[in-house]
């Protein structure tokens, strides 16, 4: 068993730290966010992930996981800090990686390993992190191991996937790769694949998410084509997928989250060869406009209408609102000409404006003005289901009908029983 310091205790770092601790390693979980550190020290996790609270409690109670606001020496340092994307410049912000490297450098000893798990543009491990760590006077590959090991867990199923997914491990040399393999094989049940260098591992991670994003763009374009031919895109995709070599994804209101809308752009950081990939991004981002237009044309006008958006998390059964399509729809409605829109958080009252109400049973974000389901849909002219939360499949159509002003439901995730809703008197538009 080893000593490990995990840098960053968010969606990735916290489950990883708890996993390592529950497999017997001695783990320091370090984060720069003092409030988060205090909450975790008190045993309280701050985001919604099935099974995670109990998993973290187990790790803390075993004494193997200590949450700290200080970096400590450790045989392995794992970096799981954010790598946000600058929308304007279309470049990754790797300053958090540099800061993590600077925090590790004073503690780095010969024989230690530094593993970068954050998703980064190809070349970041070698070109950005390595020089920072070598400020210690130690050489990567010779004195300490340096590795990229991307994380591929699916939010909503993190603990299972952390154990069961295959891992890609790419060190700056073979010794580095082997050092990381020894750590991951202590808890990973999937296969461990090694690559000749760290840059390949970075690239592999990015093309996994790019594959998914591009495939969803195809589904979104097919959904628009299907509507032009007055056919059900979901049925058509389902039937097409009966072919052994066809696996089209599902259309929706756009692609949200911290990964799929961002990672494809990382591939273009040092290359001009994004073409299909950037078009796919535009198609997925364009779904918001498409849905707003559909609502407007079905209602005749958006002026004076009250629209309820159900689901501001980026996908079903999670609380993460990063790049949320539901919020983007709200922003889009808000940015319509000023005589037809009111701010997202407005509680109504402008006669000519669009009134936007938001509801989400999973999201606690205090900066959003969220309503109960009843308040959000009371007198609504249209309901847009923007997230496939389980709770929305349980909405009772007659009860909703009695509350709403008119009867339009846009089901962007195709989670409602269309015939039941139509029988209840609703106009249902499925994407």
Binding site for ligand UD9 (CB under 6 A): 119, 151-155, 208-209, 212, 216, 249-250, 252, 255-257, 259-260, 314-315
Q: How far apart are CA 71 and CA 78, in angstroms?
A: 11
DSSP 272-303: S--SHHHHHHHHHHHHHHHHHHHHHHHHS--T
Residue with tokens 């009250």, as numbered in its chain: 306
**Residue 256 interacts with which of ligand NAD, ligand UD9, none, CB < 5 to 8 Å by class:** ligand UD9
Contact pick of 19, 45, 56, 100 for ligand NAD (by CB under 6 A):
100
Is 5 assigned a catalytic role? no
The residue sitting closest to ligand NAD, measured at its beta carbon, is 10
Residues 224-263 that bind ligand NAD (CB under 6 A): 258-259
Per DSSP, the three-state class of 392 is helix
Show the 3-state SS of 42-56: CCCCCCCCCCHHHHH
Q: Which residues contact 302 (CB under 8 A, 6 or more apart)?
A: 292, 295, 296, 333, 336, 340, 354
Active-site option among 75, 149, 259, 413: 259
Angle at 12 between CA 74 and CA 133, to 5 degrees: 40
- For residues 390 and 316, the answer to whether their CB atoms sit within 8 Å is yes
Q: Which is nearer to ligand NAD, 12 or 309 (CB)?
A: 12
* Tokens matching residue 385: 């289901």
By CB under 6 A, residue 190 contacts ligand NAD: no
Nearest residue to 329 via CA among 253, 411, 388, 258: 253
The sign one gets for the Cα dihedral 328, 224, 391, 341 is positive
**Residue 7 interacts with which of ligand UD9, ligand NAD, none, CB < 5 to 8 Å by class:** ligand NAD
Min dist CB 122 to ligand NAD, Å, is: 14
Is 205 assigned a catalytic role? yes
By CB under 6 A, residue 121 contacts ligand NAD: no
**Residue 414 interacts with which of ligand UD9, ligand NAD, none, CB < 5 to 8 Å by class:** none
By CB under 6 A, residue 313 contacts ligand NAD: no
Min dist CB 49 to ligand UD9, Å, is: 11
User: How many residues at the interface with ligand NAD, by CB under 6 A?
Assistant: 27
Q: Which is nearer to ligand NAD, 32 or 424 (CB)?
A: 32
Q: How far apart are CA 14 and CA 55, in angstroms?
A: 10
**Residue 216 interacts with which of ligand UD9, ligand NAD, none, CB < 5 to 8 Å by class:** ligand UD9
Q: Which is nearer to ligand NAD, 71 or 376 (CB)?
A: 71
The span of 74-82, 182-190, 296-304, 335-343 binding ligand NAD (CB under 6 A) equals: 74-82
Nearest residue to 96 via CA among 111, 80, 77: 80
Min dist CB 212 to ligand NAD, Å, is: 12
Q: Is 135 left (phi over 0), alpha (psi -120 to 50) or beta?
A: alpha
Min dist CB 33 to ligand NAD, Å, is: 4
Applying CB under 6 A, the residues found at the interface with ligand NAD are: 7-13, 30-33, 36, 80-83, 96, 99-100, 103, 118-119, 151, 153, 155, 258-259
List active site positions.
205, 259
């Amino acid at each position: 068993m080893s000593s490990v310091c995990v840098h960053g205790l968010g969606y990735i770092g916290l489950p990883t730290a708890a996993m390592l601790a529950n497999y017997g390693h001695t783990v320091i979980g370090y984060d720069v966010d003092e409030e988060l550190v205090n909450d975790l020290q008190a045993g309280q996790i701050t985001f919604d992930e099935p099974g995670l609270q109990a998993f973290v409690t187990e790790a803390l109670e075993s004494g193997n996981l200590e949450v700290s606001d200080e970096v400590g020496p450790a045989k392995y340092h794992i970096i799981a800090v954010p790598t946000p994307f600058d929308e304007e410049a279309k470049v990754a912000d790797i300053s958090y990686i540099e800061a993590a490297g600077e925090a590790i450098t004073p503690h780095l000893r010969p024989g230690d390993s530094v593993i970068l798990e954050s998703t980064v543009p190809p070349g970041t491990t070698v070109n950005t992190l390595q020089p920072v760590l070598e400020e210690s006077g130690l050489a990567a590959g010779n004195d300490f191991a340096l590795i990229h090991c991307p994380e591929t867990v699916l939010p909503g199923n993190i603990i299972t996937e952390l154990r069961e997914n295959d891992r890609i491990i790419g060190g700056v040399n073979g010794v580095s790769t082997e050092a990381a393999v020894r750590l991951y094989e202590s808890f990973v049940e999937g296969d461990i694949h090694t690559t000749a260098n760290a840059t390949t591992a970075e690239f592999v991670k990015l093309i996994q998410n790019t594959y998914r994003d591009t495939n969803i763009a195809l589904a979104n374009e097919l959904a628009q084509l299907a509507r032009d031919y007055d056919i059900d895109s979901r049925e058509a995709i389902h039937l097409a997928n009966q072919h052994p070599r066809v696996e089209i994804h599902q259309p929706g209101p756009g692609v949200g989250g911290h990964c799929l809308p961002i990672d494809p752009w990382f591939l273009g950081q040092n290359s001009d060869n994004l073409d299909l990939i950037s078009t796919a991004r535009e198609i997925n981002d364009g779904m918001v406009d498409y849905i707003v237009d559909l609502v407007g044309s079905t209602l005749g006008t958006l002026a004076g209408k009250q629209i309820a958006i159900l689901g501001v998390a980026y996908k079903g059964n999670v609380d993460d609102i990063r790049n949320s399509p539901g919020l983007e729809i709200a922003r889009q409605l808000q940015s319509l000409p000023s005589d037809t829109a009111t701010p997202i958080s407005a509680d109504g009252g402008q006669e000519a404006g669009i009134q936007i109400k938001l509801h989400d049973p999973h999201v606690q974000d205090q900066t959003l003005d969220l309503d109960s389901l009843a308040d959000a849909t009371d007198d609504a002219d249209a309901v847009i289901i923007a997230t496939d939360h389980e709770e929305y499949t349980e909405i009772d159509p007659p009860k909703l009908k009695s509350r709403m002003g008119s009867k339009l439901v846009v089901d962007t995730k195709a989670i409602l029983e269309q015939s039941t809703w139509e029988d209840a008197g609703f106009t249902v538009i499925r994407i």
